[in-house]
Amino acid sequence: MAQTILIVDDAAFMRMMIKDIITKNGYEVAGEAENGQIAVAKYKELKPDLVLMDITMPEMDGIQAVKAIKAADAGAKVIMCSAMGQQAMVIEAIQAGAKDFIVKPFQADRILEAVKKVLG
């Protein structure tokens, strides 16, 4: 069975791009969310193997969402996606429990490298 990934980004085109990369490489998209609140609800509902989470989003940002997901499931695996120049937020995300981070604009091989590393 393919490993499942929840894609969280407020930009639909980014979700589409990530979905395209991961499905072409044998992973399954468990679901998508456009903000942190939806991401936390979907995580609890879908129990994906991994979450690819944007940091900057409306409603609830990625850092708050990571904290909420980790509170619900200490074993949750989350990879953060951030724009250039968000170093402080990336550090905060890692401290909140994210396993890795990818910087936008990202390359397909960097996404896959991070996914493989975190999923083992």
How many structural domains is the chain composed of? 1
User: Along the 120 residues of the chain, how does pLDDT read in single tens digits?
Assistant: 799 999 999 999 999 999 999 999 999 999 999 999 999 999 999 999 999 999 999 899 999 999 999 999 999 999 999 877 777 888 899 999 999 999 888 789 999 999 999 998
Range of the domain at 35: 4-119
DSSP the chain: -PPEEEEE-S-HHHHHHHHHHHHHTT-EEEEEESSHHHHHHHHHHH--SEEEEESS-SSS-HHHHHHHHHHH-TT--EEEEEETT-HHHHHHHHHHT--EEEEESPPHHHHHHHHHHHH-
* The overall pTM is greater than 0.75: yes
> What is the domain-level CATH number for residue 69?
3.40.50.2300
pLDDT at 107: 86
pLDDT at 88: 84
pLDDT at 65: 97
pLDDT at 18: 95
